[in-house]
Chain A
Amino acid sequence: EAGVVQSPRYKIIEKKQPVAFWCNPISGHNTLYWYLQNLGQGPELLIRYENEEAVDDSQLPKDRFSAERLKGVDSTLKIQPAELGDSAVYLCASSLGLSSDYQETQYFGPGTRLLVL
Chain B
Amino acid sequence: DQQVKQNSPSLSVQEGRISILNCDYTNSMFDYFLWYKKYPAEGPTFLISISSIKDKNEDGRFTVFLNKSAKHLSLHIVPSQPGDSAVYFCAASARSIGNQFYFGTGTSLTVIP
A and B: interacting chains: no
Identify the A interface with B (CB < 8 A).
Answer: none
